[in-house]
A and B are shown apart, each in its own frame.
Chain A
Amino acid sequence: MNKQLTCIECPMGCLIEVEVENGAVKSVKGNTCLRGKMYAENEVICPLRVVTSTVKTVSGKMVSVKTDKPVRKSEIFEVMKKINSLTLDRNVVIGDVILANIDRDANLVATQNYND
């Protein structure tokens, strides 16, 4: 079975064709870089996405966050539920883990310095 994908790794948006046989990737065509190949391989087996959002703080201000690794696409709304239940009560700098293992080994990290 062949699957056609638009790569989301970078603005090129390469059109990639993946050949899948018995649940395994047989070949990847159309990518222009290694990241594209990896994306295509993941996308047909278990699609992954980085989730970005905000976490509220005790002061009421919002702090921007992201998952430090892509999470399973199927779990995006579960991840959002966890993000929305958090209230940050401490200062953070970019990269600080706010919630570990939000989906498998992906952590939720701050993408903004926050100093109340």
Chain B
Amino acid sequence: MKENYDIVIIGGGPAGLAAAVSAYDNGAKNILILEREPRLGGILNQCIHNGFGLTRFKESLSGPEYAYRFIKEVEARDIDVLLNTTVLSLEDNKTITAINSEYGVFSITPKAVILSMGCRERSRGALNIPGSRPAGIYSAGTAQKYVNIKGYLPGKRVVILGSGDIGLIMARRMTLEGAKVLAVCEIMPYSSGLRRNIEQCLNDFNIPLYLNHTITKIEGTSRVTGVVVSKVDENKQPIEGTEMHFDCDTVLFSVGLIPENELTKGAGIEQSRNTRGAVVYQNRETMIDGIFACGNVLQVHDLVDFVSEESEIAGACAANYVLNGRQEHNPISCINGDNISYVLPQKIDKNIPGNVKLFFRVRNTFKHCKIVVESNGVVLQEKKKLICVPGEMETVILSSDVIAKAEGDIVVRLEC
């Protein structure tokens, strides 16, 4: 480890790796990645299923393979990496305090910081599912770690709450490794997982998906012995008389991902309520100069390919910050309008040249609809869509001409 770094990247998962390579290739040569696990790659290491990289590499890779494409790139460059190192705090002056066995507790203050800590799974406790608290209740990702990394099966008869992609993937994984998945329950009227995962993870194995259903009771004192599943009304409240009972020994929760922004918060960086990540300009710089954010710590992506793309922007712009210093900002806001739950970036800096790709999610399933981008009531751009679902992120590219036309804040809304 050197005394000074131009850029320190917190997190060596897909976001941090892509950001590091991009920062290096854009001229920043003095880079350090801090990674808490004993190896680079982050959560991809336990995502051994395929389907990664279709957009970026035009082939279907497993998680470890996708990660290795980037690890190789990092290794080919003179980029420092500290493994088994956990960042304890970040201050607004960019001082990072971290801990590991080799250096103990230490601090570094680089010229720029890239936040790429990823996200965590929402747990049972966040939902207040009633019942007992026996063994056999796991978040899908924890079960994935036991099965794929440690080589242990958490249980034999499984009910899964939440039809996000990790839940669907784990339904298949548990089945392949010898467990029986009795049901996947989803409180919403639609699955937030990818359609192809419903097809190949559930339908291939005749695993039933119960939409508009939730778990209303967990039973068992030492080990889970069963769950009660109920249908919910339009307000997500369980409907009496619709209870179904499943005898099971395991319950998996796949009920959403939350960006891990405790360090961000500690540094006093402005965060968005909608994304639960930092507010950023299109260059992925947060509202504190020289601190950038990318990947799932900024917004929960559907595909790692988009994480890499976003992180390359952050890496390149962090390099630019290091090489050319702070630039004056001339920001307008991007706001989510009707039927849109969030838009990222939340701010467009008109001083930064080039097109801006807006990422956003819709609030519900819409067919034959129209995405409208407007400013001060003037429509700047429109895009027709056959179908939009909350589980799949939408994008619109605004050209610099369009941005120049925006007089005030930009609003993105969906019309149908």
Q: Are A and B in contact, CB atoms below 8 Å, in the complex?
A: yes
By a beta-carbon cutoff of 8 Å, the part of chain A in contact with chain B is 5-11, 13, 49-54, 56, 60-62, 64-66, 73, 76-77, 80, 94, 111-113
CB contacts (< 8 Å) of B199 on chain A: these are: 5-6, 8, 13
Q: Are B148 and A13 in contact (CB under 8 A)?
A: no
Q: How far is the CA of A99 from the CA of B382 in the complex (A)?
A: 52
Q: Which residue of B lies closest to A7 (CB)?
A: B196
CB contacts (< 8 Å) of A5 on chain B: these are: 199
Contacts A50-B60, A52-B62: A62 and B151 contacting too (C-beta < 8 A)? yes
- Residue of A7, A11, A77, A111 with most partner-chain B CB within 10 A: A11
Q: Are B176 and A50 in contact (CB under 8 A)?
A: no
CB contacts (< 8 Å) of B63 on chain A: these are: 64
Give me 10 other A-B pairs in contact (C-beta within 8 A), A52-B49, A60-B151, A111-B48 excluded.
Answer: A11-B51, A13-B196, A49-B204, A53-B177, A62-B151, A64-B64, A94-B65, A111-B64, A112-B64, A112-B68
CB contacts (< 8 Å) of B50 on chain A: these are: 50, 52, 66
CB contacts (< 8 Å) of B68 on chain A: these are: 94, 112-113
CB contacts (< 8 Å) of B204 on chain A: these are: 49, 73, 76
Q: Are A64 and B195 in contact (CB under 8 A)?
A: no
Chain B 185-202 interface residues, beta-carbon cutoff 8 Å to A: 194-200
CB contacts (< 8 Å) of A94 on chain B: these are: 64-65, 68
Q: Which residue of B lies closest to A62 (CB)?
A: B151
Q: Which residue of A lies closest to B61 (CB)?
A: A111
Q: Are B48 and A11 in contact (CB under 8 A)?
A: no
Q: Are A10 and B148 in contact (CB under 8 A)?
A: no
A-B contact pairs, 7 of them (CB 8 A): A10-B54, A13-B196, A54-B148, A61-B151, A66-B50, A111-B61, A111-B64
Q: How far is the CA of A9 from the CA of B148 in the complex (A)?
A: 23
Q: Are A62 and B148 in contact (CB under 8 A)?
A: yes
CB distance from B127 to the nearest CB of A (A): 27
Q: Are B195 and A13 in contact (CB under 8 A)?
A: yes
Q: Are A6 and B48 in contact (CB under 8 A)?
A: no
Q: Are A13 and B194 in contact (CB under 8 A)?
A: yes
CB contacts (< 8 Å) of B45 on chain A: these are: 112
Q: Are B151 and A11 in contact (CB under 8 A)?
A: no
Q: Are A6 and B176 in contact (CB under 8 A)?
A: no
CB distance from A42 to the nearest CB of B (A): 13
Q: How far is the CA of A76 from the CA of B172 in the complex (A)?
A: 11
A11, A13, A60, A76: the one within 8 Å of B54 (CB): A11
CB contacts (< 8 Å) of B239 on chain A: these are: none
Which 4 pairs between the two chains have the least Cβ-Cβ distance? A13-B195, A8-B196, A64-B48, A111-B62
CB contacts (< 8 Å) of A76 on chain B: these are: 176, 204
Q: How far is the CA of A4 from the CA of B138 in the complex (A)?
A: 35
Q: Is B303 an interface residue (CB 8 A)?
A: yes
CB contacts (< 8 Å) of A13 on chain B: these are: 194-196, 199
Chain B 235-267 interface residues, beta-carbon cutoff 8 Å to A: none
Q: Is B349 an interface residue (CB 8 A)?
A: no
| Interface flags, B286-308, vs A, CB<8A=1, else 0 | 00000000000000001100000
Q: Are B54 and A111 in contact (CB under 8 A)?
A: no
Q: Are B196 and A56 in contact (CB under 8 A)?
A: no
CB distance from A43 to the nearest CB of B (A): 10
Q: Is B149 an interface residue (CB 8 A)?
A: yes
Q: Is B392 an interface residue (CB 8 A)?
A: yes
